[in-house]
Amino acid sequence: MQTFTPEPGLIDKIGEHMFNAFYFDFGRYLIAAGFFFALIVIFRNFAAKRKVQKRKATKQDYIREFASSVRTTFFFGLTTISTILLTEAGVIKLELQEWSLGLLVAQVAVMVIAHDAYFYWMHRALHHKALFRATHLHHHKSRTPTAWTAYSFSIWEAITEAAFVPIFLLATSFFGVAYAGFAIFIFLWIMIIRNVMGHMGVELHPAGWVDTPWLDWISTTTHHDLHHSSGNYNFGFYFTFWDRMMGTEHPEYKKRFREVAQPITLSPRFAEKAAVTVMAVFATAMTLTGGVGAMVV
């Protein structure tokens, strides 16, 4: 039986991975949460009209969410050490250089769909009375979520959330599918952006979204906000179809969405503020991530 012997310098690689994982995950969190929080602050009149809940998050909510999100990024890095160990052992197959655009799009799509299924069933499991208090209660302390709620997890939930990537790559490698590292990079950005959008408390999706069959299967801020305010509905992440198939979608979801979603109109002043905000975030993103080269698997 062949055994895996750590190569010289593997400990150094793990240490470097931990640092890079924390830097990358925390950077993504700051950029995404900071961007959408800035939108709410800069366009406060717009945000007030599309706010999902009347209740406001308290100062203590913001402090708890940010502090636990910092902790979460540490455990994300600790958990995903398994990825580098399995890659070094040749168990996980990654192709970091050679990929086509078509392959990239397909791999990102597959990863998003797989993560949505993983998240739905993992999320429902954490709501079981035997697990909820120890794992998921901390996240639900944010009854009125904010952009900073995105990574506000207990230690156990952080580990469970982070486990998806190594589990997914282990499964694809088992079937002989090598994944492009850049596909994982894009997936991780999609994940945090959608995570923040789901928690920001202000509906950004345009009016009519839930009445269009081509778009209704994509979840909105209202969809996840109702989960925080009611608890036992809307367990999905990117899409609505798991909740609809399993009968767990909030019965008043579409009604509540229509109440807060209003047509988006752009004045010259609004467009100017939007342009400044986008450019500021872009500059920050390039500084913190060092561009594509800062990718961490």
pLDDT at site 8: 53
1: in domain: no
Structure-token pair, residue 241: 């179809």
For residues 284 and 147, what is the distance between their CA atoms, to the nearest angstrom? 17
Low-confidence ranges of the chain (pLDDT < 70): 1-10, 13-14, 95-98, 263-297
Distances in Å between the Cα of 22 and the Cα atoms of 181, 187, 289 are 18, 17, 12
Report d(CA 143, CA 53) in Å as an integer.
10
> Looking at the domain assignment, is residue 55 inside a domain?
yes
Secondary structure of residue 95 in the 3-state scheme: strand
Q: What number of other Cβ atoms are within 10 A of residue 254's Cβ?
A: 17
241-279 pLDDT per residue, tens: 999 999 999 999 999 999 998 766 655 555 555 555 555
Q: Which domain holds residue 161?
A: 10-294
- What is the predicted pLDDT for the residue at 176? 85
Residue 5 resides in a domain: no
Asked if residue 2 belongs to a domain, the reply is: no
pLDDT of residue 91: 84
- pTM here is 0.84
Q: What pLDDT sits at residue 225? A: 97
Question: What are 234's strand-pairing partners?
Answer: none
DSSP H or E segment with residue 21: helix 10-42
Give me the pLDDT at residue 97, please.
63
Strand blocks (E) in the chain? 94-95, 179-180
- Residue 170 is assigned to a structural domain of this protein: yes
CA distance 55 to 106: 41
Residue 278 confidence (pLDDT):
53
How far apart CA 241 and CA 113 sit, in angstroms, is 11
What pLDDT score was predicted for residue 292? 42
User: Total structural domains in the chain?
Assistant: 1
Give domain status of residue 4, yes or no.
no
